[in-house]
Chains A and B, each alone.
Chain A
Amino acid sequence: MTKELMKGNDAFAEAAVRAGVEGFFGYPITPASEFLEYMAKRMPELGRAFLQAESEIGAIHMVYGAACAGVRSLTATSGPGLSLMSEALSYIAGTEVPAVVVNVMRGGPGLGNIAPSQSDYNQMVKGGGHGDYFPIVLAPATVQEAIDHITLAFDLADKYRSLVFIAVDGNLGQMMEPAELPPMRVLPEEPPSWSVYGAKDREPNILTSIYIDPPDEEVTNIRLLRRWMEVEKNEIRYKEYELEDAEIAVISFGVAGRICSSALRTAREEGVKVGMIRPITLAPFPTEAIRELSKRVRRILVVEMNTGQMLNDVKQAVGGRVPIEFYGRIGGITPLPDEILEEIHRVNQNTEDIADGQEKVEWLERLEARIERGDQ
């Protein structure tokens, strides 16, 4: 297959079609609406279910229903929509049915704005809904990676009967890039045996998230946790950049990671021994890889487009072994490669120890000085 120049959201939607999505249910929200619009045209062409719901609540409960019926189904939304969906996400996890949610992230909290952001990290990685459950979260950095993650997300969702998020930075949804789409998946002829499709010649299937007797719920919680431990064992994904001789390491995901990789190339040309880990699965988090890395480098720089949400997971992995610094742009602002390059140089020269929490104080001072100067 050849590469085509495609707009992110359109490409992701077509990738979902090709991954065998039989039900798309959504609600318009910037910057994810093109996904919905693409599906509005494409799904009926193929005789598949498309519906613009009355709300994100309606949309995700339709996804929940279609997932119970045993077909691949998904929705695409952005932070405010995801907040509304939190209820159903918990039910989907509790009922142990596979579903995929694409979150094209924007600035928040509240209505915030429609510019790119990574501030829904905690909302997705830490669950968002009530109860003990563990969604898988994928964080693509390019249009191609996001396309690949759509198929991966469904495969993982089916394999573990799990909820899978794709954390797409707003930039990716709106960006045009050459990319290659997967082939069209042949739809399964038989529904999964656990799903609801009519109890003909078998006992009824009942899909529920209620376990009124606490011992039953405890067993369910254990099953969910054990399954999650399997996910942690098998599915951690991350990308390493120039780590062989690295003395300092950048840890960054999604579009921020992509910008860092560009800054990193320049820094290398300028003689800085810097490498990077870019987590691809934010959950399960590459804790072990980062722990090992922290034994080899003298300093770590975490870069995010939020106030340091992944930073906490990095800290946990590093366990105080080496100083960790932070740099973030927030409110819908995407950092520039030069800005990151400056940070890499600064971190490279810094030999001071840094107390836990101090990294944020110092970052805010640098950021506010930058805003004061009128630099982008």
Chain B
Amino acid sequence: MIEMEVVYSRPESFTPTTTHYCPGCTHGTAHRLVAEVLDEMGIREKAIGVAPVGCSVFAYDYFNHDFVEAAHGRAPAMATGIKRVRPNNTVYTYQGDGDLASIGMAEIVHAAIRGENITVIFINNAIYGMTGGQMAPTTLPGMRTTSSPGGRDVETMGYPVRMSEMLSTIDGTSYAVRRSLHNPANVRKSKKAIRRAFEVQERGMGFAMVELLSSCPTNLKFTPQQALDFVGDQMVSYYPLGDYKVAPEVKALKV
């Protein structure tokens, strides 16, 4: 008789809830990776998530652990408040590009400056999803959105912001890397980075952020696969993947 073993199943840190995300949206993939890491590290029971405003505003419905919902952009401040009074809990924010890189720029930068011992999962899909496809701080030059109908003109609308590079210049940052979710190999690399970012917190090593290039098929008006191809072809060239800051003690971590 052939015995079959389970090589992959839905993580326990997930609730049995269908997400509200559009088909093919990589928010689900990013959520899943976080849940897998929490499972593997055995820290679900002490995890406290901080949800953003944006498409992932209901992230707390999908994770089987404590969660709070922040105001737009303020997740790093809220996470700071929680972590400072509950240092033994694992506190992480999950934020989109509008949340983290536009309205919440001050909060994320200062959390990094303080070397706040939190983990930040940053979803960069170059667009505002929840409000219906407006220009994000990370929208590529020339990219058409509902609020840059003629394409993003950098002369008047500014340039896309590279957060991993920016945060890597800050002394308080221990770990800032960019990964992508556009194909299986990169999904696996993303998970490793997420794991490391949580390990950084567990060992009290300070501020860790993983930027994940993600797809928004609905607002980019692509099929799910086309949206991933856009990430792999267009976004990766503007937002190069890589390790922008890995503090020596983080580098020494065996993950």
Contact = CB atoms under 8 A, between A and B. Distances in A.
Interface string A201-214: 10011111110000
A197 B77 contact: no
B81 A206 contact: no
B67 A65 contact: no
A154 interface: no
Interface residues of A, number: 39
Interface in B38-82: 44-48, 50-51, 57-58, 60-61, 63-71, 74, 77-82
B68 A51 contact: no
A263 B51 CA distance: 54
B110 interface: yes
Contacts of A95: 68-69
Interface string B81-123: 1111110010000000000000000110110011000000000
Given A25-B81, A198-B89, A54 B68 contact: no
Interface string A22-34: 1101000000000
Nearest to B61: A206
Given A206-B60, A210-B69, A61 B78 contact: yes
Given A23-B85, A66-B84, A198-B89, A61 B68 contact: no
11 contacts: A23-B84, A58-B77, A58-B80, A65-B82, A69-B81, A69-B85, A199-B65, A204-B65, A206-B69, A208-B67, A210-B57
A170 B67 CA distance: 38
B82 A68 contact: yes
Contacts of B46: 198, 200
Contacts of B61: 206
Interface in B134-154: none
Contacts of A53: 77, 110
Contacts of A63: 81
A61 B77 contact: yes
Interface in A289-324: none
Interface in B17-42: none
B71 A55 contact: no
A204 B64 contact: yes
Given A198-B46, A204-B66, A73 B81 contact: yes
Interface in B157-189: none
Contact of B74 (A88, A198, A204, A205): A88
Given A73-B85, A196-B48, A65 B79 contact: yes
Given A88-B71, A196-B48, A198-B89, A65 B63 contact: no
Contact of B66 (A22, A51, A61, A196): A196
Contacts of A134: none
A62 interface: yes
Contact of B106 (A55, A88, A205, A208): A55
A58 B107 contact: yes
A58 B106 contact: yes
Interface of A: 22-23, 25, 49, 51, 53-55, 57-59, 61-69, 71, 73, 87-88, 91, 95, 196-201, 204-210
Contacts of A199: 44-45, 47, 64-66
Nearest to A212: B58
Q: Which of B64, B67, B71, B110 has the most CB of A within 10 A?
A: B71
Q: Which of B58, B69, B113 has the most CB of A within 10 A?
A: B69
B58 to A, nearest CB: 8
Given A66-B85, A71-B85, A198-B48, A204 B68 contact: no
Contacts of B107: 54, 57-58, 61
B115 to A, nearest CB: 12
Nearest to A91: B71
Given A54-B110, A66-B85, A206-B60, A198 B80 contact: no
A372 B146 CA distance: 58
B84 A196 contact: no
B81 A57 contact: no
B80 to A, nearest CB: 5
Nearest to B74: A61
Given A62-B78, A197-B89, A198-B89, A208 B45 contact: no
Given A54-B107, A57-B77, A208-B60, A62 B84 contact: yes
B235 to A, nearest CB: 29
B77 A198 contact: no
Contacts of B89: 69, 196-198
B65 A57 contact: no
Given A73-B85, A91-B70, A199-B64, 10 more contacts: A51-B84, A54-B109, A61-B70, A61-B78, A63-B81, A66-B84, A95-B68, A198-B66, A206-B69, A210-B58
